[in-house]
Structure 1
């Protein structure tokens, strides 16, 4: 559930908010920062699919050695839908794109991509450890080492921290970056940074250096 990732000593690390099929927006941002696919890495906060125009292209990014994504609730929902559960819920929440694709191809790519997605990443930066989950992190980061279904559900679906504006820092990690909850601009609550700026409606996808959250906490 929690995957530890070593420091990138050869290039830069970036993090991007919920893609939701906005492949072209991502490519434009990578060009702006002169992303080097031979040594830089990109971490995503999940929800690669649904709502935007290019869900298949975004899913296929999981085949790239420089791209990493935690699982989002939309990937979890799609997996259940393709297995005969939550179909109506998926269709009502952006999954209608699948009707224009080849279902076996979608199912195969989705299964391949999700198999590579952790529920959470812990990334060593050389300046501190940055965690990534899709939705709410637990109050104690190490809880993610368990295989608890409750913790997994919280990590994929919960908005409790944001709805209650909880400033309590997550213990056991220097900073955490999340998506899931749409904000007009990235915002900090304690040591948790929210970077889903609703690219599929705002045309504003957020891409930041992974260590930017540590800069903000350092003041």
Structure 2
């Protein structure tokens, strides 16, 4: 449900929006900040896969020691589809939502990689940055971070109520929260919740932010 990370005393921490199979865009963004895989850490709000041809390569990132993501709704769609099989409604729903890359990548290999990735795709992460903390979920966080482990799973993965209402109520018990899921024209902040999904698969814009900037 929740994985907590101690402060990075060796390098920097970055947060990135929904990748959606845009492996090249991610590599370009990391090169732009001289990202070091031996010292820096990258935290992703989920939706590594779907709609992009390099989805399998992006899914494999979940196994890298410097990469830390949460489960997005597209990982959830893929899990249900691969569990229920190609004749299921879950499979049809996945295909409608961009899962057709699996045809070229191979169902069996994708299933193996997804099973491996899911061991390190919690619903939430909490990252210490100096003396402060940043929380991360894919969609809607609870209003009290201390209740994160009792929060509604569907809201964490699928929810949009906060952004649809323009709700600027801060999440208490944490200094900042980073989410994705809903495409915004540019990074948006409501209260202390930062929306980073700038639609990489349609706009070609993948947002990468230094954790320290989120706490300024």
CA displacement at 1:127 relative to structure 2: 3.9
When the two chains are superposed, the root-mean-square deviation of aligned CA atoms in Å is 0.9
Q: TM-score, normalised by structure 1?
A: 0.95
Q: Does 1:30 find its partner at 2:30? A: yes
- The aligned residue for residue 46 of structure 1 is 46
Alignment length (residue pairs): 212
- The aligned residue for residue 57 of structure 2 is 57
The whole-number CA distance in structure 2 between the counterparts of 1:21 and 1:145 is: 29
- The aligned residue for residue 211 of structure 2 is 210
Q: TM-score, normalised by structure 2?
A: 0.96
CA displacement at 1:42 relative to structure 2: 0.3
**Which consecutive aligned stretches of 4+ in structure 1 deviate over 4 angstroms post-superposition?**
none
| Paired residue secondary structure (1:211) | helix
CA displacement at 1:145 relative to structure 2: 2.2
- What do the CA deviations read for 1:119-145 (whole angstroms, capped 9, x no partner)? 001111014100000000011111112
CA displacement at 1:213 relative to structure 2: 1.3
CA displacement at 1:58 relative to structure 2: 0.2
CA displacement at 1:62 relative to structure 2: 1.2
Which runs of 5 or more structure 2 residues have no equivalent in the other structure? none
- Specify which of 139, 142, 167 is matched with residue 143 of structure 2: 139
Q: Does 1:89 find its partner at 2:93? A: yes
The whole-number CA distance in structure 1 between the counterparts of 2:4 and 2:168 is: 25
- What do the CA deviations read for 1:167-212 (whole angstroms, capped 9, x no partner)? 1001111100000000000010000000000000000000010121
| Paired residue secondary structure (2:36) | coil
- The aligned residue for residue 18 of structure 1 is 18
Which runs of 5 or more structure 1 residues have no equivalent in the other structure? none
- The aligned residue for residue 132 of structure 2 is 128
